[in-house]
């Protein structure tokens, strides 16, 4: 009887497996630690599976008439002794965008140790050595990227073995195309990885927000900024790298080459920096995240970079950003930000990285639109007067599970109204969009923006900035939703940039079947007079009855 084929798990099955794996660690590690513990093993399982798939493709190419024979210079079949050496040629894997995993670091070796088939060293030691080996032979992974904490003794061998055997049930869709090149984990694995990050962020609450931005907010940023093939994208507070994943998806779905996008990021938290490396590797994205975790303000890892697109969700209103050490800085073009709040330090840091015609989308607390403390009002005025601000979007509440602080989006464009190709013919104008009433509840406490709402917001901005292409409409102000405001009016409001101040209220919708006003007044007047008459008749009856008593 032939062996049964291993059934491919559906996304929901994989999510369930991943979450069960986290359950195994509760009690041994807290949520902030076990996400890295589990995702490190998921990464190991994934790269091993991708290499195994590529290996099968190479074996096919070594058969009579195979594509690899000619490429390697063989007239016929290679000697049997040469085949194992060819199949372990690291360049054949890395050249196709596949991680090379040496035999001792492969998932099969780890699994055999978990099953007790292999003796010493311990399972934790085997996993740690596998992580270290993969880093050494794949130059795209910097030293310290992968977690090496499995032999710490904090998780006992029995629990660790059970975790490995559970994760062995994960299966992946094809990661190698017909041409033998990597296609990336953009389908099943990418979906599951993002799901897992989201669930951990939910478990960790406010702290989880350090590395997770709601997908609908990320998608809106990308849809508004429209990154293109050949451009450089920077996120100076990149968390787990979700902005980059969505940016490359946008480029690909609009006909561009996702591999021809320069990706640069920075993250100060070590474990989150590692998480970003693994997340981007899972998605097949090559990125420069600096030499290591670092603070963007005091140790800018990309100081000379001039980016076409900058997007970020930096921490809101942070006071411990080291502003007292950065009073004089070339980045503070529009004014020195207050020591007690980093919002305008983040904005100016991002603007300092602009290439000519560069653009940015930034998530900030609502206070950034109106605060005047610490000179913030003067900085905001200087930016508006310089025609840097293109669009302000007020977001609905309950989008961010990590904070209840209301948030907004700033969209900035270098050379707006002058030489910018992104915003045309809008010199001295700012678009305001009030999206506070948008969003639907995805859970008891959290909202998401729907695709229709994202399309409406992005489409409005696209029309306003003079974009070209199919589906771009003509911009019109819509009371209660959007309005293009001239600089002179902003001066009159002391450069407060809160959308509700400018868009007004929505006009009531007209009912085509509604009764004409004049006819309705006549009808209601007649009814009212009739009621007066009836009231008088009833009063006379009551008086007559009372008189008889």
Q: 466-512: per-residue pLDDT in tens?
A: 998 888 989 999 999 999 999 999 999 999 999 999 999 876 655 55
pLDDT range class, residue 186, cuts 50, 70, 90:
very low
Contact 158, 20 (CB under 8 A): no
Q: CA torsion sign, 294 to 300 to 304 to 308?
A: positive
DSSP 367: G
Average pLDDT over residues 178-199: 60
Q: Per this entry, what is the length of the chain?
A: 549
Looking at the DSSP assignment, which residues form a beta bridge with residue 441? 447
Cβ partners under 8 Å of residue 92, min gap 6: 54, 58, 86
Structure tokens at 252: 């690909």
Three-state DSSP at 305 gives coil
Inter-CA distances, 130 with 117, 271, 343, 407, Å: 17, 19, 42, 42
Three-state DSSP at 193 gives helix
Task: Give domain limits for the chain.
Answer: 11-171, 200-503
Which position has the token pair 């980016």? 307
> What is this structure's pTM?
0.81
Inter-CA distances, 24 with 34, 110, 149, 410, Å: 10, 18, 16, 42
Q: What is the pLDDT of residue 120?
A: 74
Helix-, strand-, coil-residue percentages of the chain, each rounded to 5: 45, 10, 45
Average pLDDT over residues 216-229: 95
Q: At 355, give phi and psi (nearest 5°).
A: -80, 165
Q: Write the pLDDT tens digit of every residue in 323-357.
A: 999 988 999 999 999 999 999 999 999 999 999 99
Between 179 and 422, whose confidence is greater? Answer: 422
Contact 344, 372 (CB under 8 A): no
- Please state, in angstroms and rounded to a whole number, the distance separating the CA atoms of residues 520 and 514: 9
Give me the torsion for CA of 16, 21, 25, 26, rounded to 10°: 0
Q: What is the pLDDT of residue 206?
A: 45
Instruction: Report percent pLDDT > 90 for the chain.
Output: 50
CB count in 10 Å sphere of residue 19: 14
CA-based R_g, the chain, Å:
30
- Beta strand 354-365 pairing with 262-265: unpaired
Average pLDDT over residues 88-112: 92
Contact 287, 243 (CB under 8 A): no
- Please state, in angstroms and rounded to a whole number, the distance separating the CA atoms of residues 435 and 457: 8
- Which residues in 374-396 are b (16+ Cβ under 10 Å) and which e? bbbbebbbebbeebbbbbbbbbb
Q: What is the pLDDT of residue 11?
A: 46
Give the burial class of 134: count Cβ atoms within 10 A of its Cβ; 0-12 exposed, 13-18 middle, 19 or more buried: buried
Q: At 271, give phi and psi (nearest 5°).
A: -65, -35
Report the range of poorest mean pLDDT among 153-167, 190-204, 252-266, 430-444: 190-204
Query: How does DSSP assign 101-120, residue by residue?
Result: --GGGSHHHHHHHHTT-S-S
Contact 218, 238 (CB under 8 A): no
pLDDT range class, residue 262, cuts 50, 70, 90:
very high
- Please state, in angstroms and rounded to a whole number, the distance separating the CA atoms of residues 352 and 334: 11
- Please state, in angstroms and rounded to a whole number, the distance separating the CA atoms of residues 180 and 233: 28
Find out if CATH 2.70.70.10 is the number for domain 200-503.
no
Query: How does DSSP assign 67-78, residue by residue?
Result: HHHHHHT-SSPP
Contact 497, 392 (CB under 8 A): yes
- Please state, in angstroms and rounded to a whole number, the distance separating the CA atoms of residues 387 and 469: 25
- Please state, in angstroms and rounded to a whole number, the distance separating the CA atoms of residues 447 and 214: 10
Q: Could you tell me if residue 454 is left (phi over 0), alpha (psi between -120 and 50 degrees) or otherwise beta?
A: alpha
Average pLDDT, the chain: 86
- Which residues in 66-104 are b (16+ Cβ under 10 Å) and which e? bebbeeeeeeeebeeeeeeebeeeeebbeebbbbbbeee
Q: CATH for 11-171, among 1.20.1250.20, 3.20.20.70, 1.20.1260.30, 3.40.50.720?
A: 1.20.1260.30
Structure tokens at 145: 């990227």
Average pLDDT over residues 319-323: 91
Average pLDDT over residues 49-61: 90
Contact 401, 205 (CB under 8 A): yes
Q: What is the pLDDT of residue 7?
A: 47
DSSP 444: S
Q: Could you tell me if residue 305 is left (phi over 0), alpha (psi between -120 and 50 degrees) or otherwise beta?
A: beta
- Please state, in angstroms and rounded to a whole number, the distance separating the CA atoms of residues 75 and 70: 7
């Amino acid at each position: 009887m032939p062996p049964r084929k291993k059934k491919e798990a559906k996304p929901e099955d994989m999510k369930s497996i991943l979450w069960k794996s986290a359950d195994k660690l509760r009690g041994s590690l807290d949520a902030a630690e076990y996400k890295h513990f589990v995702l490190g093993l998921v990464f190991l399982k994934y790269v091993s599976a991708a290499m195994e798939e590529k290996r099968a493709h190479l074996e096919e190419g070594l058969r009579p008439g195979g594509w690899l024979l000619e490429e390697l210079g063989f007239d016929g079949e290679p000697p049997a002794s040469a085949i194992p050496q060819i199949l372990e040629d690291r360049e054949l894997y890395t050249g196709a965008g596949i991680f090379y995993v040496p035999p001792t670091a492969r998932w099969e070796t780890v699994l055999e140790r978990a099953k007790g088939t292999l003796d010493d060293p311990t399972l934790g030691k085997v996993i740690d050595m596998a992580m270290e080996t993969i880093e050494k032979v794949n130059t795209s992974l910097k030293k310290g990227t992968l977690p090496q904490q499995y032999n710490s003794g904090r998780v006992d061998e029995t629990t660790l073995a059970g975790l490995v055997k559970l994760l062995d049930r994960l299966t992946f869709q094809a990661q190698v195309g017909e041409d033998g090149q990597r296609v990336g984990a953009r389908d099943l694995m990418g979906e599951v990885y993002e799901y897992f990050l989201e669930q951990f962020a939910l478990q960790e609450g406010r702290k989880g927000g350090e590395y997770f931005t709601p997908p609908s907010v990320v998608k809106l940023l990308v849809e508004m900024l429209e990154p293109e093939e050949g451009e450089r994208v920077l996120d100076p507070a990149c968390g787990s790298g979700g902005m980059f994943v969505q940016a490359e998806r946008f480029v690909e779905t609009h006909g561009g080459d996702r591999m021809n996008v320069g990706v640069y990021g920075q993250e100060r938290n070590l474990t989150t920096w590692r998480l970003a490396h693994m997340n981007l590797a899972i998605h097949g994205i090559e990125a420069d995240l600096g030499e290591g975790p670092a603070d963007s303000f005091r140790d800018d890892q990309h100081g000379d970079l001039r980016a076409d697109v900058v997007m970020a969700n930096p921490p809101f209103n942070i006071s411990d950003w080291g502003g007292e050490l950065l009073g004089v800085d070339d980045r503070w073009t529009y004014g020195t930000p207050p020591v007690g709040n980093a919002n305008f330090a983040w904005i100016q840091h991002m603007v300092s990285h602009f290439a000519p015609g560069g653009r940015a989308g930034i998530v900030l607390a609502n206070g950034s639109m109106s605060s005047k403390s610490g000179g913030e009002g003067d900085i905001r005025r200087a930016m508006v007067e310089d025609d840097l601000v293109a669009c302000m979007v007020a977001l609905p509440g309950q989008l961010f599970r990590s904070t209840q602080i209301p948030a907004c989006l700033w969209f900035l464009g270098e050379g707006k109204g002058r030489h910018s190709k992104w915003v045309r013919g809008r010199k001295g104008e700012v678009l305001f969009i009030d999206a506070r009433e948008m969003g639907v509840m995805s859970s008891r406490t959290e909202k998401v923006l729907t695709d229709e709402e994202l399309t409406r917001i992005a489409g409005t901005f696209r029309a306003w900035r003079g974009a070209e292409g199919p589906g771009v409409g003509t911009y019109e102000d819509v009371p209660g939703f959007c309005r293009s405001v001239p600089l002179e009016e902003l001066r009159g409001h002391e450069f407060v940039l809160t959308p509700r101040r400018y868009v007004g209220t929505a006009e009531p919708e007209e009912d085509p079947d509604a009764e004409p006003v004049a006819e309705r007044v006549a009808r209601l007047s007649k009814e009212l007079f009739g009621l007066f008459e009836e009231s008088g008749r009833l009063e006379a009856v009551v008086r007559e009855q009372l008189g008889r008593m």
